[in-house]
Chains A and B, each alone.
Chain A
Amino acid sequence: MSRIRTVYVLSTVFLLFPLLAAHGEAQTEKSVRIGLITEQTGVAAPSGERGIRATKLAEKQLNAAGGVNGSRIQVITYDNNSATQGTVNAVNKAIEDKVIALSGPGRSTHVQAVSPIIKENAIPALIAGTAVQLTRQGNPWLFRVRPDDSINGTAMAEFMAKDLKLTRIGILHDADAFGTGGADVVAEALKKYSQAPVRRERYTAGTKDYTAQLLNIKNAGAEGVVLYTTNAEDAAIVFRQIKELGINWKIVGCPAALSQVVVDLVKDASEGAYGAVDYFAEASPQARVFREGYFKEYNQEPDFQSAYPYDSLMLLADVMRRAGTTTDRNKTRDTILATRGYKGAMGTFNFTSNGDGIHDAHLIQMKGGKPRFIRTISVGQK
Chain B
Amino acid sequence: MFDVTTFAQLFVTGLAMGSIYALVALSFALLYKAVGILNFAVGEFVMVPGFISVVLLTTLKVPFLWAYLVTLGLMVFFGAVFQRTVYHPLRGRPFVTVLVSTIGASLFLRNTSLLTFGADPRVSPGLFTAKTVSFFGVFVPPQYLLIIATLIVLVVFQYLLFEKTLLGKKMQATAQDRDMARLLGIPVDTIILITFIYASLLGGISGILLAPVFYVTADMGFMIALKAFASSIAGGLGSIPGAIVGGLFIGVVELFCAAYISATYKDVFAFVILIAVLLLRPQGFFGEKIAEKA
The count of A-to-B residue pairs whose CB atoms sit within 8 angstroms is 93
Indicate if B10 sits at the interface (CB-CB under 8 A).
Answer: yes
Cβ-defined contact, A246 with B10, below 8 A: no
Complex formed: what's the CA distance from A237 to B258 in Å? 17
Across-interface contacts of B121 in A (CB, < 8 A): 46, 232-233, 236, 261, 265
Whether B10 and A215, one on each chain, are in contact in the complex, defined by CB atoms closer than 8 angstroms, is yes
Q: Which residue of B has the minimal Cβ distance to A216?
A: B259
A43 contact set on B, CB distance < 8 A: 217, 219
Tell me whether B131 is interfacial, beta carbon within 8 Å.
yes
**Secondary structure dominating the interface of A:** helix
B230 on the A face (CB < 8 A): no
Among residues 212 to 244 in chain A, which have CB atoms less than 8 Å away from a CB atom of chain B? 212-213, 215-216, 219, 232-233, 236-237, 240, 243-244
| Chain B, 76-94, CB within 8 A of any chain A CB | none
Residue of B nearest to A232 (CB): B121
The interface on chain A, measured as residues whose beta carbon lies within 8 A of the other chain's beta carbons, has a size of 34
Contact B141 A244 (CB under 8 A): yes
Contact yes or no, A206 B258, CB < 8 A: no
What string of 1s and 0s marks CB contacts (under 8 Å) between A97-139 and chain B?
A: 0000000000000000000000000000000000000000000
B111 touches A213 (CB 8 A): no
- A208 touching B17 by the CB < 8 A rule? yes
Residues of B within 8 A of A216 (CB): 1, 259, 263
Contacts of B165 in A (CB 8 A): none
Measured CA separation A213–B265 after assembly (Å) = 12
- Nearest-neighbour CB distance to chain B for A28, whole angstroms, equals 27
What 1/0 mask marks residues of chain B from 55 to 98 whose CB sits below 8 Å from any chain A CB? 00000000000000000000000000000000000000000000
B114 touches A41 (CB 8 A): yes
- The range of chain B's interface size is 35 or more
**Is B223 located at the chain interface by the 8 A CB criterion?**
yes
Task: Kindly state whether residue A140 has any CB partner on chain B within 8 Å.
Answer: no
- CB pair A201–B263 under 8 Å, yes or no, is yes
B215 touches A246 (CB 8 A): no
Contact of A211 among B213, B214, B218, B255 (CB under 8 A): B255
Q: Which residues of B contact A13 (CB under 8 A)?
A: none
B214 touches A213 (CB 8 A): no
Contacts of B149 in A (CB 8 A): none
Can you report 16 residue pairs joining A to B where beta carbons are below 8 Å apart? A49-B120, A202-B263, A204-B264, A206-B220, A207-B267, A208-B223, A211-B13, A212-B10, A212-B255, A213-B263, A215-B1, A215-B10, A219-B1, A233-B121, A236-B123, A264-B120
Taking A49-B119, A236-B215 as given, write out 11 further A-B residue pairs in contact, using a Cβ cutoff of 8 Å, ordered by the A residue number: A46-B121, A204-B266, A209-B255, A212-B255, A215-B6, A233-B215, A236-B121, A240-B213, A244-B131, A244-B139, A265-B215
Closest 3 CB pairs of A and B: A45-B119, A212-B258, A212-B259
